[in-house]
Amino acid sequence: NDFLPGPMLLLGAPGVGKGTQAKLLMEEFGIPQISTGDLLREHRKNHTPLGMMADELMSKGQLVPDDLVNDMVADRFKQPDTEHGYILDGYPRTIQQAEWLDTQLVAYQLPVVAVNITVPEKILLERITGRRIAPSGKIYNIYTHPPKVEGLDDETGEKLEQRKDDTEEVFHERMKAFEAKTAAVIEYYRTHGGRFAEVDGDQPVEVVTQAIREALLKLRHHPDVA
């Protein structure tokens, strides 16, 4: 598959598998994953002003203001590893973010590809509350991808952690933010230029990865692709 590198967006509700798929695809295509959630959690860990102001909103499942997130993404784009493309995970989340991103993408010769991953909401709750994360960023799930030893990373033996916003209550708030703001972003890419694909995320991880690969291959022949 020689369609990527280039910019790719992974879209979808909380827990559809954006992070899981981004980590697999970044290795395959040799381009970095840029997760705005991970970047914000890094700011929070380092007690930066952005991290401290984002903390409260993230804990409530609300979105961080567009300008702050766009500035953070602009900083990340300055790093040389983005030169040949990147996989954006969890961004853009609002129409304002999508429009700002459009202004940045002119720097790339390759067109952006947007992939929307879909999973029924009742399955997402189990994915979110069951998620555990290793210090390396490796993602587990106590129901669907448990570690070999309960609570410990298979590779390093380090303790797995649960995200503060991975409770049932905050999940419902995150879903509300998704429906109020991010659903429109999916429509924006569906109706804007056509380099858009939808993938059923309610299948084993490797089947979803393969479906994304196939979608990318089909989009390769899209008339908008140079």
Burial of 200 (0-12, 13-18, 19+ CB in 10 A): exposed
Alpha carbons 104 and 215: distance in angstroms, whole number: 24
The 188-207 site mask, x for binding ligand AP5 (CB under 6 A), equals -------------x--xx--
220 is catalytic: no
174 is catalytic: yes
* Structure token pair of residue 70: 């766009």
87 forms part of the interface with ligand AP5 (CB under 6 A) = no
**Residue 69 or 219 having the CB closest to ligand AP5:** 69
Residue of the chain from 5, 108, 125, 145 that contacts ligand AP5 (CB under 6 A): 145
Residues 21-80 binding ligand AP5 (CB under 6 A) are 36-37, 40, 57-58, 61-64, 69
Q: Which of 131, 132, 138, 181 is catalytic?
A: 131
Strand runs (DSSP E) across 107-153, as ranges? 113-118, 131-133, 139-141
Q: Which of 23, 163, 190, 213 is catalytic?
A: 163
131 is catalytic: yes
**Cis amide leading into 92 (omega within 30):** yes
Q: Which of 41, 44, 76, 93 is catalytic?
A: 93
Q: Where do we find the tokens 């395959």?
A: 28
Q: CB of residue 165 vs ligand AP5: minimum separation in angstroms?
A: 6
In the 8-state DSSP scheme, what is residue 17?
S
190 is catalytic: no
Q: Which of 44, 127, 132, 174 is catalytic?
A: 174
CB 155 within 8 A of CB 136: yes
Question: Which part of the chain contacts ligand AP5 (CB under 6 A), choosing from 90-98, 103-111, 147-155, 217-225?
Answer: 90-98
Helix 183-191 crosses helix 95-105 at what angle (to 10 degrees)?
A: 40
Q: Cβ of 9: how many Cβ atoms within 10 Å?
A: 24
Q: Which residue is nearest to ligand AP5 (CB)?
A: 37
Amino acid present at 222: H
Alpha carbons 138 and 60: distance in angstroms, whole number: 24
**Residue 4 or 208 having the CB closest to ligand AP5:** 208
Closest C-alpha among 21, 1, 11 to residue 203:
21
Residue of the chain from 90, 115, 134, 160 that contacts ligand AP5 (CB under 6 A): 90
Q: Where do we find the tokens 């309960």?
A: 150
195 is catalytic: no
- Please identify every residue annotated as catalytic: 18, 93, 131, 163, 174
Residues near ligand AP5 (CB under 6 A): 12, 14-20, 36-37, 40, 57-58, 61-64, 69, 90-91, 93, 97, 127, 130-131, 139-141, 144-145, 165, 174, 201, 204-205, 208
